[in-house]
Each structure stands twice: as C-alpha cells, then as structure tokens.
Structure 1
Amino acid sequence: MLATACAGPGAAGARATPAPSATPPEVLCARIVAHWSREVLDGGGYGDYQSMGLSGGQYEILRSVVDAARAAKEREGARAADELIGRQAREDCVARYRSGTPDGGPWR
C-alpha cells in the first residue's frame, strides 16, 4: 500500500510565509548606477554597459553621474564626489522611472 500526503497552503499546521517584495526599478537603478559610478571613478574605466548589467538608459545616467563626480572630486575631494554619486544616481533614476518602465525595449 502506498500513502502520500501533501501539505498545501490550507493544510493544518502550515505557516504562512510573507511574499518577497520586489525592489522598485528606480531603487535598483540607483544602486547599480552608484556602484558602477564609484568603480569607474576609482579608475576602473568604462566597460560594456551590458556586462555591467545596465540598460542603455542606465548607462547614460552612469556617464552623466561620473562626469559630475569627477568635477566634484577635483573641486571638493573624494567625499564630495561620493555623496554626489549617491544623490545624482538616485535623482536621475527616480526621474527615469517616474512614469513606470521606460519605452524602447528592455535595453533602454
């Protein structure tokens, strides 16, 4: 005789686990752009945006952030550049995703 038992979501003794929450796209964008901006600013150089895990639009943000951070580093030092990276990456990514996902395909 073969007996099987399955505990489904409504089974006695089953505990509900919270569903994972998705990271909003503007937050994910800001994190990855800030990370790669710091790498580039520290002498890592620009790489292929796809190998960095960026879309074309996110790569444009990265280039803008790095340009501004270089200028800030020359004028005010490394700490100011680091703060600018976090702030500008956040602001630019929020603006990019304000209306939802940008049009133009997954690479944009």
Structure 2
Amino acid sequence: MLVTACAGSGGAGAPSTAPPSATPPEVLCARIVAHWSREVLDGGTYGDYQSMGLSNGQYDILRSVVDDARAAKKREGAGAAYELIDRRSREGCAARYRSGGPDKGPWR
C-alpha cells in the first residue's frame, strides 16, 4: 500500500489563508503622480492623462502639484520643487483614497 502526505494538510507547509500583501492605492497613486509631475516639470508640457496611466482625479492632483512645483522651482530651485512634488503627491492621493477610493462613493 502506498501512502502519501500533502503539505497543505494543515502542517507547517500549509498554504496561508491571508491575502497577499498589495500596495495600497494611495501609495500607487502618489508614486505615479510624483513620477509624472517630475516629467511635466522638467519637460514643460502636459500629456494626455490616459497615456500617463492616470485617472481623471489623479490628473487633477498632478496639475495642482505641478503648478505649485513650478512656483517652488522659481523661488527655491529644483530640489525644493521635487520635495514639494513628493509631499503634495502623497497628501493629494491620501485625501483621494481616504474613504476607500473613487469607486466606493455614493455614486456607485
């Protein structure tokens, strides 16, 4: 008689029931908004938000961030503008996703 054992039978090798960890949407948003904000600041022109992989709301954050970053760059230099981009991208995206994201609102 052949007997086999499976690792998934509750032993130490059992698969985890916890969901895989994923990057929160506000973190992803801040990364992509900061990236494209730098591109726009350095390049001088805006592109199509869809070609950047942004939603309309993320693009609104980007435009606000870039406007402030341009002013900071004139006053204080590129380093200050990049710090502002990082900070404002995080703040804008945190506010946007605070209630769970745009698809979680009453309009759904």
TM-score where L is the length of structure 2: 0.79
Equivalent in the alignment of 1:32? 32
The alignment partner of 2:101 has SS state of coil
Query: In the alignment, which residue of structure 1 is the partner of 2:86?
Result: 86
SS of the equivalent of 1:65 reads helix
Counterpart Cα distance in 1 of 2:36 and 2:12: 46
Give the SS at the match of 1:49: coil
**In the alignment, residue 53 of structure 2 is paired with which amino acid?**
G
By how many angstroms is 1:10 displaced? 2.9
Q: CA RMSD for the aligned pairs? A: 2.7
What fraction of aligned residue pairs are identical, expressed as a percent? Answer: 72
Counterpart contact for 2:7–2:14, Cα < 8 Å: no
Contact 2:37 2:66 in 1 (8 A): yes
1:69 equivalent in structure 2: 69
- Equivalents in 1 of 2:103, 2:56: separation in Å? 12
Distance 1:23 1:91 in 2: 17
- How many correspondences in the alignment? 102
Q: Where in structure 1 do 4 or more consecutive aligned residues deviate above 4 Å?
A: 11-19
TM-score for the superposition, normalised by structure 1: 0.79
CA distance change for structure 1 residues 91 and 41 in 2, over 3 Å: closer, same or farther?
same
Structure 1: give runs of 5+ residues left out of the alignment: none
Offset at 1:46?
1.1
